[in-house]
Amino acid sequence: MNQTLQIGRLLRASTTSCVVGCKVTQREAPALGSLVRIPIDSQTGISIYGMISDIHVDDDGLVRQLVTAEGVSDEVILDNRNNRNVPLEISVIFCGHETGGKVSHLLPPRPPLTLDQIFLCTEEEVFAFTLPPRFGYFRHLLRANDIPVGEILASHLQQTAPIHQQKGNPGWGREAGRELITALRDDYPVLIDVLRALADAGLLSDVIAARSGGEL
């Protein structure tokens, strides 16, 4: 994840979220909870940061025919996937933006425009954006409706904690967990949902293991 990977172009957007159209294969598709970056003004250096909250695979006429056909060959399936008429749609919730190298967890000043390019964040970008005590970006996700907040956060923490661990910040996962509990302690159902997702993802157990091994 050290190299910038372009995953698609913008289909539609608002001030809080956008939908990206992709043609990537399943193997290259970005993961739920990943951070993405959308440069919107190369002159002022403004980039929008967002988190993938949904990946939607829509059907088209050919798929509808093939689904019920018998003896569809692997080549046909592969061709259908690579050369789809309808793109893969990735929903992104905006989490912050960067202006002139300064990261902010406020919403972007304006939404991106159609066909703007979307890139997966590099490890350096993820590290810089999520460096504690900067957990303000959680709030954008926590106030979104109709998304599996617990699953998305579990996935995000699962991807991000190892980056911080590598960069000498092993306590990040714990701090993130603490932040989430503080933010959600008055919302018992959501907090328990999030914590169970974190527990299923084995989050923080790495920290425990490292501690018991005397690494911390």
Partner 1 sequence: MSDTPASQTKKQPVGYVVGGGLKENLRVRLTASPQSVQEGAFVVIDSKNWRFYGLVTDLQLGATDPRFADEQSEGRLSPELADLLLGQTLYTNLEVMPQLMMDRGPEPDSPQYLEWARAHADQETRPLAVKTIPAHHAHVRMADAGDIAEVFGEPGKDGNFVIGYTREQNHPICIDLDKMVQRSSGIFGATGTGKSFLTRIILAGLIKRDKASILVFDMHNEYGLDDTASDTGESVKGLRSRFGASKVQVVGLGSGTTIRGQTPDYHLVIGEKDILPEDIEMLTHELNLKDTTPTTLEALHRSFGNDWFNAFKKMNTNGRIKDEEGKSIPAPGSVDEWATESGVNVMAAEGLRSKLGRVFDRSYIMENPAANTLKEIIIALQKGRHIVLSFGNFETDLDYLLVTNLITRRIREEWEKMTDEFRSKKGTEPRPLAIVVEEAHKLLNREMAFQTTFSTIARELRKYYVTLLVIDQRPSQIYDEVMSQLGTRITGWLGDDSDIAAVLSGLAAKDSLRGMLSRLQPKEEVLMLGWSMPMPMLVRTRRYDDRFWQDLLGKENKGTAEEILKNLGW
Task: Kindly list the residues in this chain that would bind partner 1 in the complex (CB under 8 A).
Answer: 174, 177-178, 181-182, 185-186, 188, 191, 195-196, 198-199, 202-205, 207-208
Instruction: Give the Cα separation of 143 and 93 in Å (integer).
Output: 11
Which residue, 89 or 175, is less far from partner 1 as judged by CB?
A: 175
What are the helix and strand counts (H, E) for the chain?
8, 7
Which residue, 76 or 181, is less far from partner 1 as judged by CB?
A: 181
Q: How far is the CB of 216 from partner 1 (least distance, A)?
A: 12
Using DSSP's 3-state secondary structure scheme, residue 181 falls into: helix
CA atoms within 13 A on the CB side of 44: 10
Which residue, 85 or 205, is less far from partner 1 as judged by CB?
A: 205
Q: How far is CA 25 from CA 5, 36, 41, 94, 210, in A?
A: 13, 17, 28, 24, 36
Which residue, 52 or 191, is less far from partner 1 as judged by CB?
A: 191
Which residue, 101 or 189, is less far from partner 1 as judged by CB?
A: 189
Q: How far is the CB of 154 from partner 1 (least distance, A)?
A: 11
Instruction: Give the Cα separation of 120 and 56 in Å (integer).
Output: 17
Residue with tokens 């050369």: 83
Q: How far is the CB of 167 from partner 1 (least distance, A)?
A: 21
Q: How far is the CB of 189 from partner 1 (least distance, A)?
A: 9
Q: How far is the CB of 129 from partner 1 (least distance, A)?
A: 23
| Contact yes or no for 121/159 (Cβ under 8 A) | no
User: What is the token pair recorded at 22?
Assistant: 């992709």
